Structure 1
């Protein structure tokens, strides 16, 4: 019998993942707070697109507005609930779906940042699973329309990494990975926390920088000044993660130690990292924007406190400097509040 899957947050990631699962024949219900998006999907289905024409699909899928979530009372309980909301929405999204979980149901954090502890505080560690989405880059650019702006991972790059907090391979982690293979490549990891921090390193290099400057991904990586600042941010985040004891994974083809040394001025390391970033830009759509830059463009709150702010805070706790992250977090906050407009001039001289 098919598992009942509920996805809280049908935006760029949740909608993309849920749409492909539904397309593969899974029993999926999406829940989202954007009324126009919900109504479009009800009437016309999800419109999914990507880099190639073969990635274009129109997918009928069940969807509920958050205000109609009580309708789940008339359906079988959820076996698997994915949380695909912003980090600051984690707690209420978890509480929203908790009453509708099956007795052996569990919650999967498919989010940026590190939110498993927030979820476990509400449902318990026995009902909490983590999942990192690496190099997926999609955007909900209109109600019902989601476009992925980077190539599929496939055999070249494992996109989804599913893991338990205790680091052991479990049947349910294997089950989640198998479901996600309908979307792109997936595996079970025994290094959830190392994977989480590695993804945080990448996000901390890109999200705040693009949000503060308004630069698209390729503009950021092709210009020497922003690229160098991105590398410095990555370097600081690596050093904090290493000091915390995480086993960091390769990130976008970059070794953690090489990235750290590049940001510290090692010429050979810097040349290697620059080439990797330039190669990534050659494969990426020119209109790709990190999620926080999308938030600024749409007048929404960002996750800066959970990305650059998290690196700065954890570094402060253990005495590892992450001053560039603290400064970036402050700058993004000013942009978010409308005190200054996004501009590359804001990082001049950094």
Structure 2
């Protein structure tokens, strides 16, 4: 029986966590990563993933980006676990190494599915939603805050059902996987969750739960999610359940509130740092343009404003330019005008 040849392109905290589960299940996995120290650590000491239930220590096959041109393997499944802004060049990089029926799976935040399909074709592109929490500050060592029994994924696309099943079967070693007919709507719903949590808590330089507990911040996060839900509808998406939620609620405000509650209760711990805060702590740029910036742009094209997401994007731009330091001192600027706008905005 043919063993699918799997590549994980982007082996940071999330990619490495997924990789450890797949390698532990004896799948044929190759890691491709751009952080030299991380590559060397995995080669010399292996990959160590600390989970709530224990520690996984695996010895992955790993290559640096500069070695991709030397590879001769043709991959049946490529899990693309890179930042949304790295989607296009990463897909172009790996496209020549796809097998005849190989697919690229965008396990990412942001609306990256169409960008992947533009490059490899819709019949070889799989969109994915990921909900798991991981941190990585030292090369070769990942702290995964929710193990496979509580991680959640959704996948979908216009690919052959057999290919989609192969993706589902492989990814199921890392968490619960749902197959969705409307993967664009599902990815928009993840953006609804991300809009409220990722960048606002990073601007305040706090763990997600601690930021959400500050006066006014939880409601601000809900307002960001509400605007994202409105943008999704304006973009042709539906408000669909994700994370295993049992029912649909077509009111953007209520939907955003329930979704944020799920993230805080099920997928976060008191010390969970969002991916944006981790990026900034490492001196890297974040995905704020692909998250809050995208929400504001979509609503603007539809003739509407997104004051909450626009403010988040504006403050994030100042942080990344060095004009503003992240920290709790930003709370007044973040929440400026919230009460006036929020009056009558939602039940």
Judge same fold: TM > 0.5, yes or no: yes
Would you say the 8 A contact 1:217–1:281 is kept in 2?
no
Aligned equivalent of 2:217: 226
C-alpha spacing 1:244/1:70, structure 2 compared with 1 (3 Å) = closer
Q: Size of the alignment, in residue pairs?
A: 331
What does residue range 169-184 of structure 1 map to in structure 2 within 5 Å?
170-184=161-175
Deviation by residue 1:215-259 (Cα, 9 ceiling, x = unmatched)? 111112222321111011011111221233312223565965455
1:312 aligns to 2:296 (yes or no): yes
Distance 1:110 1:163 in 2: 11
* Structure 2 unmatched runs, 5+: 337-347
Structure 1 position 3, deviation (Å): 0.8
Distance 1:58 1:22 in 2: 10
Aligned equivalent of 1:138: 134
Aligned equivalent of 1:163, options 156, 165, 172: 156
Structure 1 position 196, deviation (Å): 0.4
What does residue range 12-27 of structure 1 map to in structure 2 within 5 Å?
12-27=13-28
C-alpha spacing 1:130/1:183, structure 2 compared with 1 (3 Å) = same
Aligned equivalent of 1:147: 143
Distance 1:122 1:320 in 2: 31
Aligned equivalent of 1:267: none
Deviation by residue 1:47-97 (Cα, 9 ceiling, x = unmatched)? 1122233xx110111000111113312xx3111111111111111111111
Output the TM-score relative to the length of structure 2: 0.89
1:293 aligns to 2:280 (yes or no): no
Partner secondary structure for residue 47 of structure 1 = strand
Distance 1:95 1:77 in 2: 15
C-alpha spacing 1:104/1:217, structure 2 compared with 1 (3 Å) = same
Distance 1:141 1:220 in 2: 21
C-alpha spacing 1:273/1:122, structure 2 compared with 1 (3 Å) = closer
Structure 1 position 32, deviation (Å): 0.5
* Structure 1 unmatched runs, 5+: 264-269
Would you say the 8 A contact 1:48–1:145 is kept in 2?
yes
Structure 1 position 152, deviation (Å): 4.6
C-alpha spacing 1:283/1:188, structure 2 compared with 1 (3 Å) = closer
Aligned equivalent of 1:66: 65
Distance 1:127 1:261 in 2: 35
Distance 2:303 2:322 in 1: 32
Aligned equivalent of 2:102: 105
Would you say the 8 A contact 1:312–1:326 is kept in 2?
yes
C-alpha spacing 1:50/1:209, structure 2 compared with 1 (3 Å) = same
Would you say the 8 A contact 1:83–1:109 is kept in 2?
yes
Structure 1 position 125, deviation (Å): 1.3
Aligned equivalent of 1:266: none
Would you say the 8 A contact 2:186–2:242 is kept in 1?
no
Larger mean Cα displacement after TM superposition, 298-307 or 63-72? 63-72
Would you say the 8 A contact 1:119–1:128 is kept in 2?
yes
Aligned CA-pair RMSD = 2.3
Partner secondary structure for residue 79 of structure 2 = strand
Output the TM-score relative to the length of structure 1: 0.88
Larger mean Cα displacement after TM superposition, 142-151 or 173-182? 142-151
Aligned equivalent of 1:328: 312
Deviation by residue 1:142-186 (Cα, 9 ceiling, x = unmatched)? 1011112246554xxx7111101x4x8822112111111111111
Aligned equivalent of 1:206: 197
Structure 1 position 37, deviation (Å): 0.3
